[in-house]
Chain A
């Protein structure tokens, strides 16, 4: 059985439970539902709100570098700190945080396999206490946009075979039957997908308990859709967090070297005037 390419970026709930008093760690919960942290969290963990602390709150963008430095420093995270991220929805926004920490050059950041769901299901200790934090200095690197795809790159290459495009939304979102996950607000004007994209919903990378599938299973999953890593890969979803999850799988678990997250995603593409849109099922993999 093949190993993950970067197993050092993934820790188990057992490992976290054994390292709760490891002062070189900072455990951070990042949820879709920003109230989940207050209900009870991994003892010693702090909570980050994706919508106010991991986004620019004025323009649509990731958190600016100076704000990232302030967030990490005020969270007691130095450049040398090992950061363990976890969250609800099988780590959607934990992966979003992971992606941004890599954009700003944080060396040692890891994801707790299975996320909040697995920690709860295993009946592990929870706390309502927020840890007291000592503010430290943090210096981010200039943003590394080799792991981020912007609209222009996608527009310039989607129909030229320059890269493989992976749409990680659900099937009905991909086909255009719905514009957002059931129960969530619609954020685009049109439904469908970027022409040529392959449909590989993010959840197919996970087991029922929220952990990632084995390296062999993941490789097969993507290979069956024609994604083998021999070309650059662009992942997208609706707003960029589910595609962070798949980006992590492709880059860190499978080790494909050139993988970007198009965080503009369908909310950007599906609102563009005159952008080409494909509806219905994906065409067969080449």
Chain B
């Protein structure tokens, strides 16, 4: 019987590894094959401390988890800007470094590893020394459940929504005001801490910490469990751990073979099993978002979305829509954005030189000019996606030049993208919810400066309050979707919508941020003409809501319809400014822009 208890225990320990790795890989899109190496940091820390200063189980466990978490934070710093392929390489390097160090330091037992001096004892909890596998089952169940709950809470919440946005499109997530780097650091730290916890458990369970227990092949095994179970759901990770871990013993019991070769044959079947399983279920055993909790109570969870596909024209008059910030507008200056002497060079090319630009509150301005004039570059400079070489950008009187894109977004200037950049694997509703947040300036409201689920402290300690914020966010997001006429597709993944619908989703997303100033990059280009009218109406409606809007647009028809002021840009410089009528009557500009008229 102990044989099966042993296997169950290993499944539980590896569940801790696989679940936490899923939060990193499946939710955040950060591929790591160094997970067992963080287990090594935890396991060796606990082994060393218990051998040297006789630290008991619980403090050793905490020390191991903290040590691994700290190492994870360190690794996240170079990892922040790496693409998945390079991240794999980085994690291989980290894994090799960790294993080489612990394998070469004599104090850590060198190649032989460290043997535990005494069995695990969970005192003050009852149960005494844990010696036999069956004694371990309950504690390990509790650890696996704890991991599941924490990771589930982080993954299936506003916090996890930001993580999945980072996975789908980092740039867009930043542009909507999420502090992407801080989220990544937190997730690397927490998942590594869980790996460290699992590593400590593995040390106490095996009573040895050695390089082979935490080798690269073990990291690959954990990775296989996670992929197998399905990215983006934790129940799958447990299943994945069980399948991979059970493959060998099942074979041992079922297939009677020559014991001398049994081990080899098992490995052959295990390897082929990996290959066949990913082929049969490339998306994993369970689909993304599947969870036991939700499966058990399917009716209650999702608020039913009323299928209302009202066109904008009927909603425009009916509803002033949530827009709180216009209250003090009269008292504020009429210039919302003041740009002075903005410059940017790429090598020898001046993409933007001494550019001056004033945007009037509540108006629509258009930035026009020939291709290559630097219009999109101006948007990139204003929103912090590119760093300006000189000049000043004052938003509502405050200098925002040099701030990170997410900071600028939270200060009230957001942008859309030419190629929309919706979060393809998230629903239209989730796309919009990402823009909506309850800002707070309290120091502990980190990383996004918000209350509610994006804030770890609220998320883990104030579930009631977090739930209230989440419901509120959900309602507001539905309102915005209704406004753009997409309430009926609220639960459809944004990647499955048409390009025109994706544009509308991206507008709803911008409106959701409550920002005062919206920069729209070619709002009407590349879409079916039936959507153009709707989008123009929507942009005009945004102005009625009190927003200030600046568009970059090629279609003179669109500019004519919308713009109060037109800025004409050539070679990184604004050369003329006025109404569209004034500009088109200037023969030189007409020549530059339209060729001959």
| A and B form one complex | no
B residues with a Cβ closer than 8 A to A are: none
